[in-house]
Amino acid sequence: MTRIFSALIILTSVVAVNLGPVAPAHAALAFDFEGGSTVVSVAGFTSTFGFSFTATSPVEVDSLLLYDKGADGWQDPGSVLVSIYPDDGTTTPVSGIQALFSSAITDVFTGDTPPGGQWLEIDITDTMLAAGDYTAIAEGEIAFSEAAPVDVISVTPQSGLTYGAPRYALSAGNPTGDVLFNTTGYFAPNFTLVTDDQPTNPVPEPATAALLGLGALGLLARRRRRRTA
């Protein structure tokens, strides 16, 4: 029996080594920015705020973000649609990469704090973006209480992305330019990416490891009974 318990200890140690430590799930902010002023839409019009970017290699999007000025929750009475479009003027967003924000959305992305506010977050099904050109767009009436950051000092993209140019229009859809001719994009929308240290395969829970150990104990005991019979 001593051999059985010794073998069990060795086996469970091996299982523990193989199962952990496991890197925690982690999502990275696509575009970090510093500084800047704020801009609002024209009252009574749906505006589109955003920026273009290039995926230099395939990336995986796992949530969409909306800038919340003052970090006090969404104060506008209306809603804002955040999407990623191909950067070709098409009116159809990338399938699966769209989310509607309103005052009911209270989840916050805690991996980064933008100047003067926070990022409200909606998780989406992980969706691959192929290498190519895109726009990140927020559509809606964004009032003074929730102005979009613009004219930022610096933009730092995640690996696999490059920043492009501002996008703004006094209409819904996917603008190909900026009617205000700003030098940087409007960071009302943003998104997060799945990173290399985020597990992509299910990891057995501790209870699973315990069951493996008990199964091994039963198997060893059965073999011992056979030898002594």
> How many whole angstroms separate alpha carbon 8 and alpha carbon 10?
5
Going by C-alpha positions, the residue among 148, 146, 126 that lies closest to residue 137 is 148
Q: What beta strand segments (E) does the chain contain?
A: 27-29, 31-34, 37-39, 47-55, 59-69, 80-86, 98-101, 108-109, 117-129, 132-140, 148-150, 154-157, 161-169, 189-194
DSSP secondary structure code for residue 146 in this structure? G
pLDDT, position 196: 67
Q: Which strand ranges, in their side-by-side order, compose the sheet holding 47-55?
A: 98-101, 80-86, 132-140, 47-55, 161-169
Say if CB 203 and CB 13 are below 8 A apart. Answer: no
pLDDT, position 229: 55
Single-letter amino acid code for the residue at 56: T
pLDDT tens, per residue, the chain with 229 residues: 555 445 444 444 444 444 444 444 468 999 999 988 888 776 677 888 899 999 999 999 999 999 999 999 998 888 999 999 999 888 899 999 999 999 999 999 998 899 999 999 999 999 999 999 999 999 988 877 788 888 889 999 999 999 999 998 888 888 888 877 777 889 999 999 998 654 443 444 444 444 444 444 454 455 555 555 5
The neighbour count for residue 56, using CB atoms within 10 Å, is: 13
Going by C-alpha positions, the residue among 115, 141, 160 that lies closest to residue 45 is 141
Prediction pTM value: 0.74
